[in-house]
Amino acid sequence: YTFNQSGIHRQVALLYQICKRIDPSLVGHLDAQGLQFLQFAFRWMNCLLLREFKLPIILRLWDAFLAEPDGGFKEFHVFVCAAFLLKWRRDLIGKDFQDLMMFLQSPPTGSWTDRDVEMLTAEAFVLKNLWGK
């Protein structure tokens, strides 16, 4: 724990930059609605998506993080969050601020399976290799 949680702020800023490069129209819509990434992604970074998924899914996801050779929880997690946000693009475009917040604070992941996590981590791996350092 650090006083101002600068590491989480850096991760949120990186998420914003990655998403802005990959899908500027989605980020433009979120910006136009006054939604700042800090308002939803801080929790994603701070809780490592624990609140967005059921425990068996989280264990599978964190296993993927541990398998990453270069900072799975620090770097790969950001790309997983980017893939997660971009997955919901069609659901997010057109929503206003309140609906965006409601959706992003409680995404419909209750029926997710290992296969869904595999697809998410595969997409994150592609994003990391295309858009990472």
pLDDT tens per residue across span 69-81: 877 888 999 999 9
Question: How much is the average pLDDT of 9-35?
Answer: 97
Whether pLDDT at 48 is above 70: yes
Exposed / middle / buried, residue 130 (Cβ in 10 Å: 0-12, 13-18, 19+): exposed
Q: Are 52 and 42 in contact (CB under 8 A)?
A: no
User: Across all residues in the chain, what is the average pLDDT?
Assistant: 94
Q: In this predicted structure, which of 33-42, 72-81, 95-104 has the lowest mean pLDDT?
A: 72-81
